[in-house]
Each structure stands twice: as structure tokens, then as C-alpha cells.
Structure 1
Amino acid sequence: METLKTELKENIIEQLNLEEFTVEDIADNDALFGEGLGLDSIDALELIVMLDKDYGIKLTDPLEGKEIFKSIEVLATYITANRKK
């Protein structure tokens, strides 16, 4: 799962143009929204597209997304359990 976490960090930095961050800057349990990386609702949409494109996971429930996007740790666990690709 460590490889997946690193891959997620790299993808998030690239997809959301977070040039000020490196993989090492993002701890597995850092919040992705608010106090952590400071992502917003537009970023959430980008993450939803990334889940579909890269892992074959379609999110349709916004509340589910809110839970899944808490941290890299939570996101990686969800992907491991639900990935289609």
C-alpha cells in the first residue's frame, strides 16, 4: 500500500498543479481539505475524475467523497478495497 500512497501523492500534486508541494511534504494522515493541503470543491471534482480514470472507481454520493478524501491513508484504503483497474 506504500506504493499506492506515493502514487496518489504524485498524482494529486500533478493533477492539481500543487508545485509548492513534494511527495515528502504530504503525510499519509494529513487532511486533504481545510487545514491540510487546503484543497477546495473544484479539487474534489478533479480527484473524482482521477479515481474514475486511474482506478475505475465511480463516486456518485458527495457524502461518500467527503469521507474518502479525508487523507491519503483513507483514500488508499478505499482504492485498495474498491479498485476496478
Structure 2
Amino acid sequence: MNDLQRDIAQLIIDTLNLEDLQPTDIPPEQPLFGEGLGLDSVDALELALALQKRYEIQIASDSRDARQHFATVATLAAFVESQRAACAN
């Protein structure tokens, strides 16, 4: 788990009040929805808002691609990195 993945895992814990978890309890490749961490669409909305605020990125709510970015901590980290790189150019 790299620093960004750890930070995103902590953001998930803090945003969704998952007080019993530590960032290391959420493996980077564990699904966040369904059989994985068990998040739902309301959680996804809260998480999207927190990610936008923390990393100063934009997440299109109507994007069909947004769902794939929220699959795991690893995919979220990759998305954040790509958005940061796009904003830097």
C-alpha cells in the first residue's frame, strides 16, 4: 500500500465513520462495494465529495466511468493521480 492508497483508505474510514477499521484493514485491491467493504451508493456520494475536497479534483457524477474508479482503493488512487496530472498540465 503506497502513501496515497493509505490516505484514501483513511479518508474512507473518516468520511463513512468506519471507526473499527484501520487503513491497513482495507487492502488496495479489495472491492469497496458488494461483497467487499459493503459500501452503497450513498457512501459513494459522500466519498466522492470528500475526495473532491481533499484532492481538489472533479468527479463527474453522470460519468459511467466513475463507477469503475470507485471499485477499489487502488483504482481510486490511480484516478486521483490521473486527475492531479491533468490539472498540472
Q: TM-score, normalised by structure 2?
A: 0.86
Q: Which residue of 1 aligns with 2:64?
A: 63
1:37 aligns to what SS in structure 2?
A: coil
Q: Which residue of 2 aligns with 1:10?
A: 10
How far is 1:20 from its partner?
Answer: 2.3
Considering only CA atoms, is the larger Rg found in Structure 1 or Structure 2?
2
Q: Which residue of 2 aligns with 1:53?
A: 53
How far is 1:62 from its partner?
Answer: 4.1
Q: Which residue of 2 aligns with 1:39?
A: 39
Query: Equivalents in 1 of 2:68, 2:2: separation in Å?
Result: 20
Kindly provide the amino acid, as one letter, of the partner of residue 63 in structure 1.
R
- Runs of 4+ in structure 1 off by over 3 angstroms are none
Deviations 1:26-52 (A, max 9, x none): 100000011111000110101110121
Distance 1:68 1:52, change over 3 A: same
1:77 aligns with 2:63: no
1:28 aligns to what SS in structure 2?
A: coil
User: Identity across aligned pairs (percent)?
Assistant: 40
Gaps of 5+ in 1: none
Aligned residues: 85
CA contact (8 A) 2:6 2:24 kept: no
